[in-house]
Structure 1
Amino acid sequence: MVILFVLIALLVLTVVVAANRYLWRRLVRDTTSGPGPARRAGAAAIAGGWVLAVGALVAERSGAPFWLQRTLAWPGFLWLALSVYLLLAVLAGEAVRPLLRRFLERRARDRTPAAGTPVPQPQSVPAGARSPEQPQQPEEPVSETPAPSRRLFVSRVVGGAAAAAAVGTVGYGTYGVLRGPRVKRVTVPLAKLPRAAHGYRIAVVSDIHLGPVLGRGFAQKVVDTINATQPDLIAVVGDLVDGSVKDLGPAAAPLAQLKARHGSFFVTGNHEYFSGAEQWVEEVRRLGLNPLENARTELPWFDLAGVNDLAGESEGQGPDFTRALGDRDTKRACVLLAHQPVQIHDAVEHGVDLQLSGHTHGGQLWPGNFVAAAANPTLAGLERYGDTQLYVSRGAGAWGPPTRVGAPSDITVIQLASPQA
Structure 2
Amino acid sequence: MLRWIVFAIIYAVLGLYTLQALKTAIRYPWVHYLFIIISVLVLGNFIYQFTWGAAEGRVLSRPKSYAFGFMITVFTFQLITILFLFSEDIFRVVSGVYQKFTGNTKEFSLPERRRFLSILGLGIAALPFGALLYGMYKGKYNFKVFKYALEFEDLPDAFDGYRITQISDIHSGSFDNRKKIEYAVDLINKQKGDVILFTGDLVNNMATEMKPWMELFSTLEAKDGKFSILGNHDYGDYVDWETEDLKRQNLEDLKVIQREIGFDLMLNENRYLKKGNDKIALVGVENWGRGGFKKAGDLGKATATIDKDDFKILMSHDPSHWEDVVLFDDLHYHLTLSGHTHGMQFGIEIPGWVKWSPARWRYKYWAGVYKEKGQFINVNRGLGFLGYPGRVGIWPEISVITLKKKA
Contact 1:307 1:338 in 2 (8 A): yes
For 1:284-295, what aligned pairs fall within 5 Å after superposition? 284-295=258-269
Deviation of 1:401 (Å) = 1.8
Match of residue 298 from structure 1: 272
Match of residue 257 from structure 2: 283
Contact 1:93 1:162 in 2 (8 A): no
Distance in 2, Cα, partners of 1:388 & 1:57? 48
Distance in 2, Cα, partners of 1:230 & 1:375? 34
**Change beyond 3 A, Cα 1:84–1:257:** farther
- Equivalent AA in structure 1 for residue 308 of structure 2: T
Contact 2:343 2:357 in 1 (8 A): no
Deviation of 1:340 (Å) = 0.3
Distance in 2, Cα, partners of 1:43 & 1:407? 27
- Structure 2: which 5+ runs fail to align? 93-110, 238-249, 349-354
Match of residue 54 from structure 1: 50
- Equivalent AA in structure 2 for residue 23 of structure 1: L
**Change beyond 3 A, Cα 1:384–1:160:** closer
Match of residue 336 from structure 2: 355
**Change beyond 3 A, Cα 1:43–1:183:** closer
Contact 2:290 2:321 in 1 (8 A): no
Contact 1:396 1:410 in 2 (8 A): yes
Distance in 1, Cα, partners of 2:356 & 2:75? 14
Deviation of 1:165 (Å) = 2.5
1:328 partner SS: coil
> What is the alpha-carbon root mean square deviation over aligned residues?
3.9
Contact 1:273 1:312 in 2 (8 A): no
For 1:160-199, what aligned pairs fall within 5 Å after superposition? 160-161=122-123, 164-199=126-161
Question: Which one of 19, 23, 30 corresponds to residue 14 of structure 2?
Answer: 23
Q: Confirm or deny that 1:372 pairs with 2:359.
A: yes
* TM-score, L = length of structure 1: 0.72
Contact 2:172 2:209 in 1 (8 A): no
Distance in 1, Cα, partners of 2:363 & 2:62? 31
Distance in 2, Cα, partners of 1:315 & 1:82? 28
Deviation of 1:158 (Å) = 4.9
Distance in 2, Cα, partners of 1:56 & 1:190? 56
2:147 partner SS: strand
Distance in 2, Cα, partners of 1:218 & 1:26? 40
Distance in 2, Cα, partners of 1:264 & 1:380? 22
Equivalent pairs: percent with the same residue? 25
Distance in 1, Cα, partners of 2:171 & 2:391? 13
2:392 partner SS: coil
Contact 2:85 2:121 in 1 (8 A): no
Match of residue 89 from structure 1: 80
Question: Which one of 298, 311, 324 corresponds to residue 333 of structure 1?
Answer: 311
Q: 388-397 or 352-361, which moves further after superposition? A: 388-397
Match of residue 392 from structure 1: 379
Distance in 1, Cα, partners of 2:375 & 2:54? 40
Instruction: Please say which structure displays the higher CA radius of gyration.
Output: 1
Deviation of 1:242 (Å) = 1.4
Distance in 2, Cα, partners of 1:374 & 1:151? 37
**Change beyond 3 A, Cα 1:182–1:56:** farther
- Equivalent AA in structure 2 for residue 347 of structure 1: V
Distance in 1, Cα, partners of 2:343 & 2:18? 31
Q: Confirm or deny that 1:77 pairs with 2:68.
A: yes
Deviation of 1:260 (Å) = 0.4
Distance in 2, Cα, partners of 1:57 & 1:272? 24
Distance in 2, Cα, partners of 1:266 & 1:244? 17
Distance in 2, Cα, partners of 1:380 & 1:229? 20
- Equivalent AA in structure 2 for residue 346 of structure 1: V
Equivalenced residue count is 357
- Structure 1: which 5+ runs fail to align? 1-8, 102-148
**Change beyond 3 A, Cα 1:393–1:70:** closer
Q: 150-159 or 250-259, which moves further after superposition? A: 150-159
**Change beyond 3 A, Cα 1:191–1:260:** same
Deviation of 1:297 (Å) = 0.2
Deviation of 1:181 (Å) = 1.4
Deviation of 1:361 (Å) = 1.1
Deviation of 1:413 (Å) = 0.1
Contact 1:397 1:409 in 2 (8 A): yes
Match of residue 127 from structure 1: none
1:299 partner SS: strand
Q: 382-391 or 22-31, which moves further after superposition? A: 22-31
Contact 2:286 2:316 in 1 (8 A): yes
Q: 288-297 or 208-217, which moves further after superposition? A: 208-217
- Equivalent AA in structure 2 for residue 90 of structure 1: T
Distance in 2, Cα, partners of 1:416 & 1:252? 30
Distance in 2, Cα, partners of 1:319 & 1:313? 15
Deviation of 1:160 (Å) = 4.5
2:385 partner SS: coil
Distance in 2, Cα, partners of 1:314 & 1:160? 40
Distance in 1, Cα, partners of 2:201 & 2:383? 10
Distance in 2, Cα, partners of 1:391 & 1:299? 19
For 1:229-268, what aligned pairs fall within 5 Å after superposition? 229-268=191-230
* TM-score, L = length of structure 2: 0.75
